């Protein structure tokens, strides 16, 4: 089997079988996404009537397309599989240029009918015969931001380059993640590759992970998975990627998989989910529980430095959210309170309002609502320069008189200045809350500093960074 | 997996563990009442007397375990009681091999160490707080076998056994080093021996200077 899946992400020419003029059809959205993503090789819509779609010349037969076609995206009903393969076969006998298929259509083996299973098998047999690689059926497709190629039918995603890559067993969960990113403060989150594997008739999740994990632009891998019959191989594959870059896994189905029937205590306690938990930890793989934690953790891994230790300072401008943060930190069991030097404490006293509460208790400063934008940034600088601090939770609540954007810009310049001096520590900004603070958060996010919706989300992301950093240090 | 399975008697399980270099509590198999006295002298009082019967997974439930036996009279009585209750519980007479004598070990933290072959994960090791309530609290952690030393240490740390073993409320600390060694050995055993389907070592008592495996059940394919 050809291990090269590159034609799924960067084909020289592609066709959409089942293309449609109707904007409500997936066969329309796929053509639109490929065009909108700035793909510069030819795209050809193929349909029964050979309609033109979005100004592109349409054909009624794959075999008639005059230019090179390395990838075909199939979004016609499953029942058109025989026609699809008939056209594809004629193309392979003459032009023999197709290297990959994305079967976006549903109605195959996943519905369990004899016809559905038969159509899927026919696709697999065809691919084996011509050494073609296929994802799906029943998937939403693939994206490569750097190749300007979006072959999905997801309605609204931002093609912004970054270091995150995502492999998802579910198309819906993948779309959920990418569409959420659109509503983040900056309107986008940078990523590299995205692929959903659907029924895994040919390319399975392990192969997709191996391929995407080897992508040099991928700095962090995310995986959504419901389960795998080859759990050990899956975990070991993820573990070998985690030796090079962080891997974040959202594994669901926690309650469904019961333990195997067994006479022993061990057998009856060994539910698959409990074993996943241990196996992922053993291989230094970050396990998350929600889509939000998956997103927060991947973004943090992509853009923040790994902390050198677990001493995180809580710098808060408001009491309540600060306590919230401290509680979550304690609950995670991952943090210890930093003790900063007397010099740092006295510098904090110099830069902060007189009513500020400094290091009572250690590792915590409530700078109060009297603090100006400048004072926020100056206090952050004192903390980041202290060798006893590995990271900072920076919590502030919008007040009418606090210039949040000035504060955000101040943080950006501070981080640049410190980076130029070789000081690089994670800062977790939590700016509360809602639409009012979005412009300030956007300033940070456009400068590759992720912001967090709430202290608990920031704490979980930071705890995951600490876990990964520790597992790398211990050689796990 | 549909191969046939066999539950090994504790005595056979212990022999297999010892061959694998895993130390178990000293154990004498006694097949007749006449041999009781000599075996008891070797083990020494106080001692524990347990039924030894092929394929019997749960000894306590049928009254097959007597603990804290301090003299020969009590031991004779224990033999009689165990044999009578075993027959009442319909343990086939030909399956009963006799009794096992072991020294009575008191104090320490009761843990469970398990191993199993999972359809999807292959060989797996489990650790947690043991005793008969192991399944109630589910205070256990898993790792894929074989284990590195660091895996053994982190799976201990994952459970609240680690709190008890670190000398909770003035209690003596447990020998975590020896416990980690034992976990690694169990991982090596289950990873290297495909016939082993399930292994329960419960309880494993962790004391200040040693770890003692007091009971074991092994299920093998045959």
Domain final residue, candidates A139, A168, A199: A139
In this structure, the answer to whether residues A25 and A134 fall within a common structural domain is: yes
Same domain? A93 vs A184: no
Residue A144 lies in a domain: no
Is the distance from CB of A357 to CB of A366 less than 8 angstroms?
yes
Instruction: Quote the CA–CA distance of A234 and A272 in Å, as a whole number.
Output: 13
Would you report the helix, strand and coil content of chain B in percent, each value rounded to 5?
35, 30, 30
Q: Residue B101's beta-bridge partner residues?
A: B28, B49
Decide: A100 and A8 in contact? Cβ < 8 Å.
Answer: yes
- A177-216 pLDDT, tens digit each: 999 999 999 999 999 999 999 999 999 999 999 999 999 9
A366 and A236 in a single domain? The answer is no
The tokens of A410 are what? 């101040």
Strands, E assignment, A182-305? 191-196, 220-225, 247-251, 286-288
For residue A134, pLDDT beyond 90? yes
How many CB atoms are closer than 10 A to CB A89? 15
Chain A contact probe: residue of B55, B120, B143, B146 with most A CBs at under 10 A = B120
CA–CA min distance A320, chain B (Å): 31
User: How far off is chain A from B201, nearest CA to CA, in Å?
Assistant: 9
Same domain, A395 and A342: yes
pLDDT tens sequence across B153-210: 999 999 999 988 998 887 788 999 999 999 999 999 999 999 999 999 999 999 999 9
3-class SS of residue A468: helix
Domains identified in chain B and CATH numbers:
26-103 (3.30.1490.20), 107-221 (3.30.470.20)
**A414 in any annotated domain:** yes
Q: Return the exposure string of A400-419: e unless at least 16 CB atoms fall within 10 Å of the residue's CB, then b.
A: eebebebbbbbbbebbeebe
Distance (Å) from the alpha carbon of B41 to chain A's nearest alpha carbon: 33
> What DSSP character marks residue A306?
P
Nearest to B126 among A228, A269, A476 (CB): A269
Tell me how close the Cα of B140 comes to any Cα of chain A, in angstroms: 8
The token pair that represents B58 in the structure block:
């749960």
CB contact under 8 A, B200 and A269: no
For position A199, what pLDDT does the model report? 95
Contact B115/A266, CB-based, under 8 Å? Answer: yes
* A166 Cβ neighbours under 8 A, 6+ residues apart: A174, A177, A178, A191, A193, A194, A195, A221, A222, A223, A224, A298
Q: Quick one: pLDDT at residue A266?
A: 76
DSSP state of B193: -
Is B140 a residue whose pLDDT tops 50? yes
State residue A239's pLDDT score.
97
DSSP per residue, A377-429 = HHHHHHHHHSTT-SEEEEEEE--TT--HHHHHHHHHHHHHHHHHTT----EEE
Domain boundary among A303, A321, A344: A303
Tokens describing residue B190: 């289950």
Backbone angles phi, psi at A443, to 5 degrees: -55, -45
Identify all chain A residues contacting B158, using CB atoms and an 8 Å cutoff. Answer: 278, 281
Q: Which two tokens stand for residue A130?
A: 């011509």
Interface residue ranges in chain A relative to chain B, Cβ cutoff 8 Å: 228-232, 235, 260, 262-270, 272, 274-275, 277-279, 281-282, 474-476
Average pLDDT, stretch A99-121?
97
CATH number, domain at A376?
3.40.50.261
Residues of chain B positioned with their CB less than 8 A from the CB of A230: 120
A145 domain-assigned? no
Query: What residues pair up with A220 in beta bridges, in sequence order?
Result: A164
Residues A95 and A14 in one domain: yes
CA distance A179 to A156: 6
The string of pLDDT tens digits covering residues A165-178 is: 999 999 999 999 99
* Whether A343 and A464 share a structural domain: yes
Partners of residue A476 in chain B, C-beta under 8 Å: 150-151, 154
pLDDT at A198: 94
Q: What is the DSSP string of A336-350?
A: B-----HHHHHHHHH
Task: Give the tokens for residue A10.
Answer: 């960067």
**Structural contact between residues B216 and B25, judged by C-beta atoms closer than 8 angstroms:** no
Please answer yes or no on whether A282 and B154 come within 8 Å at the CB atom.
yes
Flag whether A21 is in a domain. Answer: yes
CA distances in angstroms from A175 to A24, A111, A428, B90, listed in the order given = 17, 21, 26, 60
pLDDT digits (tens, 9 = 90+) for A64-99: 999 999 999 999 999 999 999 999 999 999 999 999
* Residue A133, helix vs strand vs coil: strand
Please spell the DSSP secondary structure of A350-382, one letter per residue. Answer: HHS-TT-EESSSTTEEE--TT--HHHHHHHHHH
Same domain, A340 and A448: yes
In Å, how far is B94's CA from the nearest CA of chain A? Answer: 22
- What is the spatial order of strands in the sheet that A141-144 belongs to? A149-152, A141-144, A191-196, A161-168, A220-225, A247-251, A286-288
Query: Do A92 and A173 fall within a single domain?
Result: no
Residue ending a domain, choose from A94, A111, A139: A139
Nearest to B112 among A265, A267, A282 (CB): A265
A109 touches A116 (CB < 8 A): yes
Q: Are A217 and A192 in contact (CB under 8 A)?
A: yes
Q: Which residue of A has its CA nearest to B113?
A: A266
**Does position A1 have pLDDT exceeding 50, yes or no?**
no
List Cβ neighbours of A86 (8 Å cut-off, separation of 6 or more). Answer: none
Domain tally, chain A: 3
Same domain flag for A80 and A216: no
Q: Which of A265, A270, A333 is the best substitution to test chain B (most B C-beta atoms within 10 A)?
A: A265
Cβ-nearest to B140 among A228, A269, A281:
A269
Judging contacts by C-beta atoms under 8 Å, the chain A residues touching residue B112 are 265-266
A139-143, B49-53, B130-134: least confident range: B130-134
Give A220-232 pLDDT, tens digit per residue.
999 999 888 899 9
Element (H, E) at A100: strand A100-103
How far, in Å, CA of A183 to CA of A19, rounded? 29
| Substitution target from A278, A281, A287, A467 for chain B, most B beta carbons within 10 A | A278
User: Residue A270 is nearest to which of B118, B151, B202, comparing CB atoms?
Assistant: B118
Mutation choice for A interface testing from B1, B117, B126 by most A CBs within 10 A: B126
Tokens (6 digits) for B54: 């092929």
pLDDT level of residue A240 (50, 70, 90 thresholds): very high
Q: Does A149 map to a domain?
A: no
A146 lies in some domain = no
Any domain includes A1 = no
Q: Which range marks the domain in which residue A27 is found?
A: 6-139
Q: What is the ipTM of this complex?
A: 0.91
With an 8 Å Cβ cutoff, are A278 and B200 in contact? no
Question: Residues with Cβ < 8 Å from A266, sequence gap 6 or more?
Answer: B112, B114, B115, B116, B126, B198, B199, B200
Predicted confidence (pLDDT) per residue in A301-330, tens digit: 999 999 999 999 999 999 999 999 999 999
Chain B neighbors of A475, CB-CB under 8 A? 150
pLDDT tens track for A91-108: 999 999 999 999 999 999
Sign of the four-CA dihedral B209, B210, B214, B216: positive
Contact at CB, B135 and A269, closer than 8 angstroms: yes
Sorted by sequence, the CB contacts under 8 Å of residue A412 that are 6+ apart come out as: A443, A444, A447, A449
Per-residue tokens: A314:
């809580």
| Per-residue pLDDT reduced to its tens digit, A420-462 | 999 999 999 999 999 999 999 999 999 999 999 999 999 999 9
Residue B1 in this model has a pLDDT that exceeds 50:
no
Q: Which residue has the tokens 């519905």?
A: A111
Q: Which residues of B touch A270 (CB under 8 A)?
A: 114, 116, 118, 124, 126, 142
Q: Is A313 helix (H, G, I), strand (E, B) or coil?
A: strand
Residue A148 counted as domain residue: no
Q: How far apart are CA B75 and CA B65, in angstroms?
A: 12
Query: In this structure, are A263 and A338 located in the same domain?
Result: no
Same domain membership, residue A158 and residue A114 = no
Nearest to B120 among A230, A262, A476 (CB): A230
Q: Supply the pLDDT for residue B3.
A: 64
> Helix, strand, coil proportions of chain A in percent (round to 5)?
40, 20, 40
Nearest CA in chain A to B57: A263
Residue A267 to chain B, least CA–CA distance (Å): 7
Hey, which residues does A428 pair with through a beta bridge? A393
Partner residue opposite B126 with nearest CB, options A230, A270, A272: A270
Are A266 and A317 members of one domain? no
Consecutive H or E run containing A101: strand A100-103
What is the number of other CB atoms lying within 10 angstroms of the CB of residue A129? 10
Q: Considering only CB atoms, which residues of chain B are within 8 Å of chain A?
A: 7, 57, 112, 114-116, 118-122, 124, 126, 128, 134-135, 138, 140-144, 150-151, 154-155, 158, 198-200, 202, 217, 219
Domain with residue A63: its CATH number is: 3.40.50.720
Q: Is residue B58 predicted with pLDDT exceeding 60? A: yes
């Amino acid at each position: 089997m050809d291990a090269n899946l590159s034609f799924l992400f960067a084909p020289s020419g592609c066709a959409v079988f089942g293309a449609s003029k109707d904007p409500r059809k997936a066969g329309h959205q796929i053509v639109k996404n490929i065009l909108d993503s700035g793909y510069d090789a030819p795209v050809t819509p193929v349909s029964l009537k050979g309609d033109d779609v979005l100004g592109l010349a349409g054909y009624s037969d794959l075999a008639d397309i005059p230019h090179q076609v390395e990838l075909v995206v199939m979004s016609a009903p499953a029942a058109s599989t025989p026609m699809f393969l008939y056209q594809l076969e004629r193309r392979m006998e003459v032009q023999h240029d197709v290297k990959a298929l994305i079967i976006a259509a549903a109605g195959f083996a996943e519905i369990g009918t004899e016809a559905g299973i038969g159509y899927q098998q026919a696709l697999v047999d065809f691919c084996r015969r011509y050494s073609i690689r296929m994802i799906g059926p029943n998937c939403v497709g693939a994206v490569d931001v750097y190749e300007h190629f979006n072959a999905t039918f997801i309605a609204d995603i931002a093609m912004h380059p970054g270091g995150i890559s995502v492999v998802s067993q579910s198309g819906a969960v993948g779309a959920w993640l990418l569409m959420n990113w659109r509503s983040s403060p900056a309107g986008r989150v940078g990523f590299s590759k995205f692929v959903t594997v659907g029924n895994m008739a040919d390319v399975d999740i392990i192969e997709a992970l191996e391929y995407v994990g080897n992508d040099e632009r991928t700095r962090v891998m995310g995986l959504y998975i419901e389960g795998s019959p080859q759990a050990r191989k899956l975990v070991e594959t993820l573990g070998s990627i985690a030796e090079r870059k962080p891997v974040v896994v959202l594994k669901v189905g926690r309650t469904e998989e019961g333990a195997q029937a067994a006479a022993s205590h061990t057998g009856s306690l060994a539910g698959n989910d409990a074993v996943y938990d241990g196996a992922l930890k053993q291989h230094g793989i970050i396990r998350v529980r929600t889509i939000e934690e998956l997103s927060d953790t991947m973004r943090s891994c992509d853009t923040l430095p790994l902390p050198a230790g677990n001493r995180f300072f809580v710098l808060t401008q408001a009491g309540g959210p600060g306590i919230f943060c401290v509680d979550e930190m304690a609950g995670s069991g991952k943090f210890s309170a930093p003790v900063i030097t007397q010099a740092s404490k006295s510098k904090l006293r110099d830069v902060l309002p007189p009513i500020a509460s400094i290091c009572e208790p250690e590792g915590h400063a409530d700078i109060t609502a009297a603090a100006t934008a400048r004072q926020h940034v100056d206090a952050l600088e004192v903390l980041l320069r202290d060798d006893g601090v590995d990271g900072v939770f920076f919590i502030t609540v919008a007040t009418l008189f606090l210039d949040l954007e000035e504060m955000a810009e101040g943080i950006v310049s501070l981080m640049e200045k410190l980076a130029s001096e070789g000081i690089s520590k994670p800062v977790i900004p939590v700016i509360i809350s809602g639409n009012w603070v979005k412009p300030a958060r956007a300033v940070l996010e456009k400068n590759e500093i992720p912001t967090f919706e709430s202290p608990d989300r920031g704490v979980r992301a930071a705890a995951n960074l600490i876990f990964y950093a520790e597992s790398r240090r211990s050689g796990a | 997996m549909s191969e046939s399975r066999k539950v090994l008697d504790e005595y056979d399980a212990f022999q297999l563990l010892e061959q694998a270099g895993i130390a178990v509590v000293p154990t004498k198999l006694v097949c007749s009442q006449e041999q009781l006295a000599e075996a008891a002298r070797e083990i020494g009082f106080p001692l524990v007397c347990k039924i030894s019967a092929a394929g019997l997974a749960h000894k306590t439930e049928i009254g097959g375990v007597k603990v804290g036996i301090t003299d020969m009279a009590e031991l004779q009585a224990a033999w009689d009681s165990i044999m009578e209750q075993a027959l009442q519980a319909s343990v086939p007479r030909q399956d009963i091999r006799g009794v096992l004598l072991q020294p009575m070990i008191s104090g320490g933290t009761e843990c469970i160490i398990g191993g199993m072959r999972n359809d999807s994960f292959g060989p797996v090791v489990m650790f947690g707080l043991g005793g008969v309530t192991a399944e109630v609290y589910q205070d256990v952690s898993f790792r894929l076998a074989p284990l590195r030393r660091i895996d053994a240490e982190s799976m201990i740390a994952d459970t609240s056994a680690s709190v008890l073993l670190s000398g909770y409320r003035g209690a003596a600390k447990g020998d975590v080093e020896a416990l980690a060694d034992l976990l690694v050995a169990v991982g090596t055993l289950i990873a290297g021996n495909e016939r082993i389907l399930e292994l329960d070592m419960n309880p494993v008592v962790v004391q200040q200077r040693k770890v003692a495996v007091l009971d074991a059940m092994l299920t093998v394919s045959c």
